[in-house]
Amino acid sequence: MTQEQIYDMLREVQHPGKGDRNLVELGMVGAVSVQGNKVHVTLQLGEHRDPLTDYLKGSVRAAIYRHTPVDTEIEVDAVVGKPAEEKPKKKTVNDLTLEEVAQVRHIIGIASGKGGVGKSTVAVNLAVALARLGYRVGLADADVYGPSVPLMTGTEGAVPEAMENGDGEVILPIEKFGVKWMSIGYFAQPGQALIWRGPMACNALKQMILQVRWEVLDFLLIDMPPGTGDIHISLVNDIPMEGALIVTTPQAVALADVEKGVDMFRNEKINRKIFGLVENMAWFTPAELPENKYYIFGKDGGVKMARQFGIPLIGQIPIVQSIRESGDGGQPAALSSGPDGLAFLELARNLAEQADR
């Protein structure tokens, strides 16, 4: 027996003095509690005592008797006061936040100052690598303009199920490679441009992340959209993000972008932890000469940047053709045991260590 069922039973009780409207519609049902076989209903009588009070109490009792087992104990009382709302309020996205996201130990944004540095590649492979290490992992693709998780994980066309939650709707993530994935891309036709702007994009994103049944997770990674604009600030504020990983490439010109990324999380309004810097495309390694490293964008760029901002360099990922190919083919490189896979496992191990500090 649930509260909701009791409400349904009370919809069968009409107030003879008020046309055909039932007690729930009239806002005359106050508190309803169900405990084991005990049901307690409080009628809310408005500003004045209703002459039909005893009649209504009897009708309520009868309505509940009709639908419940014989040993049900029913108590009905009535109070005078302002009418209650029609129903207990539906849960809002923000209430769900607390329930669902509270079970996630670390929510970490994957960010960069500029686009195209390999954020999504790092996010997807890091998620897979963390799962390979035995952590419970989810990844939300927060890039509303160019979601890349469906392609990179080979889950294009997957349709997440929605589920009634009693007092709201939750979305079930797509599971593959031991990771729970969610992307706005699952809700659009492939190739269809998403034309959301500003606040609409923010809301869609928030829902997409907060209304998902992630269950218990060690890590929830958020693949942030490129840049450091309003949408980022509102994302970090609305989603209880613990901190961020900043992805960069080694060129000296990337320094200014890293600074923007770092500032975004360190400014006093946001003030979140930065778990570390990831240097992507740190060197080039040809498939046929896996021992060789060619520093085509310069050596130690990442080391210098990390030192300059006082954050740990927690991963260096080489440029390997297989990383791009496996991304495009939906089989993340982190699944392999080549140098590409190992680089991501190393990154995952370092992040877990930073997070557990």
Q: Which spans of this chain sit near ligand ATP (rule: CB under 6 A)? A: 112, 115-121, 143, 146, 148, 226, 280-281, 317, 319-320, 323-324, 327
Nearer to Mg ion, 97 or 120 (CB): 120
To Mg ion, the closest distance from the beta carbon of 94 in angstroms equals 27
To Mg ion, the closest distance from the beta carbon of 112 in angstroms equals 9
Output 282-290 pairs: Cβ under 8 A, ≥24 positions apart.
Answer: 282/250, 282/316, 282/317, 282/318, 282/319, 283/316, 283/318, 283/319, 284/318, 284/319, 284/320, 285/318, 285/319, 285/320, 285/339, 287/320, 287/321, 287/322, 290/338, 290/339
Nearer to Mg ion, 119 or 180 (CB): 119
Nearer to Mg ion, 32 or 323 (CB): 323
Question: Contact residues for Mg ion (CB under 5 A)?
Answer: 119-120, 148
Q: Are 312 and 354 in contact (CB under 8 A)?
A: yes
Nearer to ligand ATP, 97 or 120 (CB): 120
To ligand ATP, the closest distance from the beta carbon of 284 in angstroms equals 9
To ligand ATP, the closest distance from the beta carbon of 222 in angstroms equals 12
Judged by DSSP in three states, 148 sits in: coil
Nearer to ligand ATP, 68 or 316 (CB): 316
Q: Are 149 and 155 in contact (CB under 8 A)?
A: yes
In the bound state, the residue with its beta carbon closest to Mg ion is: 120
To ligand ATP, the closest distance from the beta carbon of 124 in angstroms equals 8
To Mg ion, the closest distance from the beta carbon of 279 in angstroms equals 17
Distance CA 267, CA 303 (A): 23
Pull the structure tokens for residue 192. 């269809």
Rounded (10°) angle between helices 339-355 and 119-132: 80
Pull the structure tokens for residue 116. 């195209």
Q: Which does 116 bind (CB under 5 to 8 A by kind): Mg ion, ligand ATP, none?
A: ligand ATP
Strands 162-164 and 217-223: unpaired
Give the number of residues written for the chain: 357
Distance CA 190, CA 230 (A): 27
Distance CA 342, CA 345 (A): 5
Nearer to ligand ATP, 280 or 354 (CB): 280
Q: Which does 227 bind (CB under 5 to 8 A by kind): ligand ATP, Mg ion, none?
A: none
Nearer to ligand ATP, 225 or 243 (CB): 225
To ligand ATP, the closest distance from the beta carbon of 119 in angstroms equals 3
Q: Which does 323 bind (CB under 5 to 8 A by kind): Mg ion, ligand ATP, none?
A: ligand ATP
Judged by DSSP in three states, 161 sits in: coil
Of all helices (H) and strands (E), which one includes residue 110? Answer: strand 104-111
